Structures are given as C-alpha cells and as structure tokens.
Structure 1
Amino acid sequence: MYNFSYAETLDEFCVDARGNERQAMGVIIEQLQAAKEKGRRSREAIEAIYNTRRVWAYLIDDLSNERNELPVALRADLISIGLWVMKELEAIRTEQSESFDGLIQINTMIRDGLA
C-alpha cells in the first residue's frame, strides 16, 4: 500500500519546496512591480520591501545550512545575490535609491531558474 521509497518522497519534497520558492518569487516580483508603479513611499513599496526581505532572509538561511544539497559554489553565489538584494532594498527604504528595476530583474531570473 505505502511502497514509496525514501528517494521518491525526498524528490517530491524538493519539487514542492522549489515550487514554493518559485511561487514566493512570483509574488514578490508582482509586489515590486506594483511598488515601481506607485513609488517608493507607497504602501505597495513598504509591502514589497518587507516581503522581499522575508523571502531572501529565508533563502539565505537555507542556503547557508550545511545540509543544503546544492553545490557549495552555487550556494555562495546565491547568498551573494541575496545580500545584494538586501542592500538594494535598504537603499530604497532609506531613500538612497528609487529604482526597483534591478530587484525585479534579478528576482525574475532567480524565479525562472527555479522552473
């Protein structure tokens, strides 16, 4: 009845996790696009900054975990991207930048890479 192997179960879990990460990226991309349209002082911008930080904080934490099975070099690259995203978000929050374009582009590339 329950003849699923550990590998099959793990594969399904990883696919679900990757799908969840892709879906979360889609949500923050939409929020960043709305923030771009409404301006950095808008409610949309506040929500986009907050949620983008939350997603990337989770990803950075997961990528820094030694149990993460991605290659070390890829994990390091993704952590670097995450740190860049965090700096860009802070620059917008502190009014040192007004552009959401770079954030939209990089998050779109990461989302598409999760497909």
Structure 2
Amino acid sequence: MYRLSYSEILEDAPDLGREREREAFNRALDLLRSAEARGPQAVAERSEAVGYVQNLWNLLVSDLLDPENGLPDGLRSDLVSIGMWTMREAGAVLTTPERSLSALIEVNTSIRDGLR
C-alpha cells in the first residue's frame, strides 16, 4: 500500500491539506467545548476530547520535526513548542478533572484560525 507523506499531500494540494487540518481542529474544538460544557464529571467525554487533541498534536509535531517539512524553521519551532505545551496541558487536564479546558480551547482555536 502506498502512503503519501504529509508534505507530499501539501505540495500537490495545499488548499486540501489546510482544509483537512481545519477540519481536524474543528473536531477537536467541538469535543473540547462539549466536554467543558458538561463539566468535570463527564470523565469519558473529557478523556475522548483530550485524547483526540493529543493524537492530533502528536501527528502534527511528528510532521513538524521531519526534515522534509517545508515550513520555515522558526515557524516549525514555534508550532512544536505549542504542540508540546498542548500535550502537557492535556495531560494536566486528565489528572486534574476540575481543571478547565478553556486554555486548550483558546490555543487550538488560534491555531485553527491561523490556517485560513
């Protein structure tokens, strides 16, 4: 089975790649907002939302660290830092149920909006 790298997809169809990224962030934000609205007692919903965000950022950070990634080094570094913070914050949210998801929502909204 042939698998395209993320950079190859963006090279061939950058608008499609950015749209897929926006869709992934929209899904993450929908899950986070829903879990936040339900409160800390919605453990399963919080876990699903946070797990999705962690998986999303694991994928993004992996791609950003790839030497073939065509983004400028400074931007890549900034995005990796944001991704690492997001994964740490996601872990903190899971271990402290009363912790708000608002910081994760705010940061991921900013990243999603930057994809326009």
| Aligned counterparts, 1:23-62, within 5 A | 23-42=23-42, 43-62=44-63
Which position in structure 2 is the counterpart of 1:110? 111
RMSD between aligned residues: 1.7
Q: CA deviation at 1:10?
A: 5.9
Q: CA deviation at 1:39?
A: 2.1
Amino acid at match of 2:62: D
Amino acid at match of 1:16: L
Note the alpha carbon deviations across 1:21-76, whole angstroms, 9 max, x for none: 11100110011001111123422211101100110000000100111100000000
What are structure 1's unaligned runs of at least 5 residues?
A: 1-8
After TM superposition, which residue ranges in structure 1, 4 or more long, deviate above 4 angstroms? 9-12
Which position in structure 2 is the counterpart of 1:18? 18
Separation in structure 2 between the aligned mates of residue 57 and residue 40 of structure 1, nearest angstrom? 24
Q: CA deviation at 1:14?
A: 2.0
CA shift in 2, pair 1:66/1:38, >3 Å = same
TM-score by length of 2: 0.85
Which position in structure 2 is the counterpart of 1:3? none
TM-score by length of 1: 0.86
